Structure 1
Amino acid sequence: MPVPAPQLGSYQYVPETKENLDWAELVTIDLSKFHTPEGKKQLAQELISALRNKGFFYVKNFNISQERVNRQFAIGREFYELPLEEKSKYVPDLDAGKFNGYTPAGRRVIDEKSGLRDKIEIFNMPKFNGHFPQAYPELIQSHLAEIEEFARSLHSEVLDPLFELLALALELPEDYFTRIHVYAEKSEDHLRYMKYGKYSTEENSKLSLWTRGHTDLGSFTLLFRQPVAALQIRDPQTEQWKWVKPQDGTLTVNACDALSFLTGGYVRSTIHRVNVPPKDQQHVDRLGLLYFSRPHNDVKLATITESPVLTREGYTQNEFERFGNKVPTMEEWTFAKQKWQRTPQAYRDETHRTATILPGFREKVFDEPTAVGA
């Protein structure tokens, strides 16, 4: 049962854009079908098709009420209203790749000509499983029981079913992926409240993007609906950028680097970015609620050899194996890429953007942005 907590007040979502954007056509995985053998079989094929063709998809009927989601947005809203001095007490060693706690805005210059810096604030909360001692401000501490209950429910109600479906699609035992994503085990999962602060009309006119194209480093990223249109994906089939539409009652999910490594590239780690919102939404902040799922820290990111599907399709080596490099553990990969991501390099520093993160894996520069509203 959800844990009772102090009153937060209601959370009001901003109106959706009225602009006619080029929306991506994404599959919706309906987890109400998960509880029958026939439904599981159907969903497994829908999932693997979505992962292979787009890398992004929606999930609905995941047994977490909108009221519980709204409370998390309300807690995030209240956190970002705390004074900067208070939030700054919880900044980790960002230059060393640490990420649990608060990341202040302004670490990156995102427009060289004007000197504009990012307005992104992040607050990450690790697993509540005893492996990650973490200090919290009183606001978060007073709601910690329900935050933990919410984070755990994302595992049982969303991630575990998706991992079972992926295993079925790859003709593996159903528990293959759930065994390496156990909540009680040490892994670098985190729940995130994320705020993209608004820019003025003049500032936005100088910007092409808020966040450049990138891939996430874990297994699945869960993104709860919020109506400010900004997320875009690069369609793997056309390489065109498409907007991701906020859908009522759904989660937006994308596959990440770890699943790509484990499947030898059969599952795509999807390229996405955050664009400047359409003009009718540029006057508001963009608050995000996300969960980042990652395999256990000691999992070696080698291509799965037990999958008949991967063997038949010829996906037997990932980037590290193909050239005889050491295959990293999830922990090694996490902190190597996180350190690279958090380096406050100039936004257009091509040397940094194409750096070798670990021997065998070099980052790539993705397509330049399309015009807002295109």
Structure 2
Amino acid sequence: MPVPTPELGSFNFVPETKENLDWADLITVDFSIYDSPEGKKELAQTLIKAVREDGFFYVKNFNIPQERVNRQFNIGKQFYELPLDEKLKYVPEGLTEGKFNGYVPAGRYVRDEASGLKDRVEIYNIPKFNGDFTHIHPELVQDHLAEIEEFSRSLHSEVLDRLHVLLAIALELPEDYFLKIHTYDIKSEDHLRYMKYTKYTPEENLKLGGSWVQDLGSWTLLFRQPVAALQIQNHKTGQWKWVKPQDATLTVNACDALSLLTADYVKSTIHRELELVSVSSPPKDQEHVDRLGLLYFSRPHNDVVLATVDSPVLKREGYTQNKFEVSGHNVPTMEEWTFAKQKWQRTPGARNDIKHRTAEILPGWKEKKYDEY
């Protein structure tokens, strides 16, 4: 149930680009047919096709009004209007060791060695409200904490739980298989994120190198914002295409944990985000704007061992061992995987170090270079 909410004012999205970009033709998972057995079966096949091909897909009719989404964008906007000194009070201790809940300031990475140009990405992560995490926030966030909790929980009940059921059906597992390892009340590193990408000048954009990223959890939920900024790589063709913001939808991608749990049958999606890991200039009619992101990161329980699930589908298709199992190394828990990846990602000044980019972050897992396509 929505909770009483303080006044926030309105949030205004920037106009969509008018440029004719090479948009990806993504599949839409429409929850309007979810509640019938036939609808679930149909959606399960739609979902598995989406994650096997593009990895990204749209979800619509997910029962969260746009007004509630807009309020979260507005909270994020107001947070980033706070003075830097205030935001810096909420930088997590152990940031370089993989801690991530709280404020992550911009300027931690050099984007162009010649000019010394640094990144302009700010992050504010809010963990689950299940009693496992402390919630110490600026007054602005604290004043809206009840509705932030309600919003976060609704993403589980209205979106993530349904995706987990559909994935289980597609893999011929009990419907509650993935639900049992993604329970809200059990400790996991899920978090809601407000993310700000401050613009570069057109001249600065030309200096920025390219990178690609993969998310480390189960699913990432991205709420629509009309700045063209996200590109994805098709699993089959290897082609890069833009992701078009669609009205009244969520954009969702499959991540590393699902890839490990399915021995790469569900592939962790390679993607790149302009202003975060620029690969080309943004559309000319949007170069002048900052971008605000609203995201949710879903992860299995911390104690879940990321071993390949015992699925009839995976056995028939020959997907029976993930990289750790093939190499004979210990399969990590989700907690071990999370903090190994986070520590590797958050090492200051290491993005241009080839040894870092190809480091073995856990026995049996060697990273790939992040700037070659």
Shorter chain as denominator, the TM-score bin is: over 0.9
* Equivalent residue, structure 2, for 1:142: 143
SS in 1 for 2:212: strand
1:322 to 315, 322, 326: 326
Residue 163 of structure 2 is matched in structure 1 by 162
RMSD: 1.0
Aligned match of 2:303:
298
Residues 1:213 and 2:212 are matched in the alignment: yes
- Is the counterpart of residue 100 in structure 1 residue 104 in structure 2? no
Report deviation, 1:204: 1.6
Q: Show the counterpart of 1:372.
A: none
Q: Matches of 1:268 and 1:150 in 2, distance apart?
A: 28
TM-score normalized by structure 1? Answer: 0.96
Q: Offset of 1:199 from its aligned partner?
A: 1.2
Q: Verify: 1:365 aligned to 2:364, yes or no.
A: no
> Residue type matched to 1:319 in 2?
K
Give, as a single letter, the amino acid of the residue that structure 2 aligns with 1:111.
D
Amino acid at match of 1:267: V
Q: Distance in 2 between matches of 1:316 and 1:75?
A: 44
CA distance in 1: counterparts of 2:368 and 2:301, whole angstroms = 26
347, 356, 363: which one pairs with 2:360? Answer: 356
Quote the offset at 1:366 in angstroms.
4.7
Number of the residue aligned with 1:191: 192
One-letter code of the match for 1:242?
A: K
What amino acid does structure 2 have at the position aligned with 1:36? S
Alignment pair present for 1:57 and 2:62 = no
User: Is it true that 1:234 corresponds to 2:233 in the alignment?
Assistant: yes
Which amino acid letter does the alignment assign opposite residue 234 of structure 2? Answer: D
How far does residue 214 in structure 1 lie from its aligned partner after superposition?
A: 1.2
- Cα distance in 2 between the residues matched to 1:96 and 1:368: 26
Aligned to 1:270: 269
1:302–1:318 Cα contact (<8 Å) kept: yes
Give CA deviations for 1:178-202 in whole Å, capped at 9, x if unaligned. Answer: 0000000000000000000111222
Give the secondary-structure state (helix, strand or coil) at the position aligned to 1:213.
Answer: coil
Verify the 8 A CA contact 2:357 2:370 in the aligned structure 1.
no
Aligned to 2:48: 48
Query: Which residue number corresponds to residue 127 of structure 1?
Result: 128
Q: Which amino acid aligns with 1:167?
A: A
Deviation (angstroms), 1:349: 2.3
1:283 aligns with 2:288: yes
Structure 2 residue matching 1:214: 3-state secondary structure: coil
Q: Which amino acid aligns with 1:131?
A: D
Matched letter for residue 114 of structure 2: K
Q: Specify the alignment match of 2:258 in structure 1.
A: 259
Residues 209 and 371, structure 2, Cα contact 8 Å, conserved in 1: no
Q: Deviations over 1:274-314 (max 9, x none)?
A: 12421110111100000000000000000012x10011111
| Distance of 1:299 and 1:78 partners within structure 2 | 36
Higher mean C-alpha displacement, 57-66 vs 4-13? 4-13
Structure 1: how far apart are the matches of 2:300 and 2:114?
41
Structure 2 CA distance for aligned equivalents of residues 223 and 345 of structure 1: 28
Identity %: 73
Distance (Å, rounded) in 2 between the aligned partners of 1:346 and 1:183 = 34
Distance 1:105 1:366, change over 3 A: closer
Question: Are 1:250 and 2:249 matched, yes or no?
Answer: yes
Relative to the length of structure 2, the TM-score reads 0.96
Cα distance per residue 1:145-198 (max 9 Å; x no partner) = 000000000000000000000000000000000000000000000000000011
* Structure 2 CA distance for aligned equivalents of residues 308 and 124 of structure 1: 37
- Taking the aligned partners of 1:282 and 1:271, their CA distance within structure 2 comes to 24
| Whole-angstrom CA distance in 1 between matches of 2:296 and 2:282 | 22
5+ residue gaps, structure 2: 275-280
The farther-off stretch of 338-347 and 36-45 is 338-347
Q: Is the 8 A contact 1:109 1:346 kept in 2?
A: no
Q: 1:335 and 1:357 mapped to 2: Cα distance?
A: 10
Deviation of 1:144 (Å) = 0.1
Kept in 2, the 8 Å contact 1:226–1:246? The answer is yes
Give the residue type in structure 1 aligned to 2:43.
Answer: L
- The yes-or-no answer on 1:343 pairing with 2:347 is yes
Identify unmatched segments of 5+ residues in structure 1: 370-374
What does residue 175 of structure 1 align with? Answer: 176
Structure 1 window deviating more from structure 2 (291-300 vs 105-114): it is 105-114
CA distance in 1, matches of 2:366, 2:351: 18
- Per-residue deviation, 1:208: 4.0
Correspondence for 2:6:
6
